[in-house]
Structure 1
Amino acid sequence: MALLVLFATMSFSMDMHFCGKTLVDLKFYQQADTCGMNMGEMDMASETMESHCCSDLAIVIPGQDDLQPSFDKLTLEQQTFLVSFVYTYLQLLPDLEDEHDPYRDYAPPPLIRDVQILDQTFLI
């Protein structure tokens, strides 16, 4: 869900440079590099041409800016719901202060025989 919100609010831009019908350069968030055949770099004889073969295409996908919640404009019903939700959620958590050990008053059973010595098993 967080990734969906992140990509919905993020804007993307893509710049492409074509020489004829061939894609020469493609860049995201930057201006695409040219192929060196722009009108300013051509010689005097080719300036008489009406159009040149290179073209640029920029695609911009704007993100959403209206997803920022404003908590100062909550209605009374929304405030009541928010307070009751937080109170109910906090009541689900166990109280750590009231830890009661049910085995505190009981002693362990008496050791009749030492099984480790009888079986000759020792931790090293």
Structure 2
Amino acid sequence: MKKAFQHIISLSMAFMVMLSTMSFTVDKHFCGSHLVDKAVFSKAKTCGMQMSADAETHCCTNEKVEVEGQDELKISFDSFDFDQQLFITTFTYSYLNLFESLPKQIIPFKDYSPPLLVSDIQLEDQVFLI
């Protein structure tokens, strides 16, 4: 249950980062006050009327809404000053060297099975631990 909850949280955080950094454009074409077409990521289709240079006689309008995503997720190591770089590298090096790896345990007879017990030898010889 705990593992599934961790997966759900990490997946939702990944989607949140993806959606917050994504930018897109919504393009709308109005003919008078009537919405003719709306398009996301592309240009909206027109109603077929030719747009003239004179804005007073023209009834069609185009509206473009741009939603910009954030671009502040990039953290460069070069943006830190020398003291901060020195602290980060020293902290990372000392933290990684805190952990020692365990020696590899070699089990020489791990592929061999023990012999089958025919009878209980301690009971036959009457030898017991006291």
- Whether the TM-score (by the shorter chain) exceeds 0.5 is yes
Q: Does 1:59 align with 2:65?
A: yes
Normalized against structure 1, the TM-score is what? 0.58
What does residue 120 of structure 1 align with? none
Gaps of 5+ in 2: 1-12, 119-130
User: Which amino acid is 1:22 matched to?
Assistant: H
Count of aligned positions: 101
Supply the distance in 1 between the matched residues of 2:60 and 2:38 (Cα, whole angstroms). 14
What does residue 77 of structure 1 align with? 87
| Deviation of 1:108 (Å) | 1.0
| Deviation of 1:32 (Å) | 1.1
Percent of aligned positions with the same letter in both sequences? 41
Q: CA RMSD in A?
A: 3.3
What does residue 122 of structure 1 align with? none
| Deviation of 1:59 (Å) | 0.3
Supply the distance in 1 between the matched residues of 2:61 and 2:43 (Cα, whole angstroms). 13
Supply the distance in 1 between the matched residues of 2:58 and 2:73 (Cα, whole angstroms). 44
| Deviation of 1:73 (Å) | 4.3
User: Which amino acid is 1:108 matched to?
Assistant: P
Q: Does 1:12 align with 2:24?
A: yes
Supply the distance in 2 between the matched residues of 1:27 and 1:85 (Cα, whole angstroms). 52
What does residue 116 of structure 1 align with? none
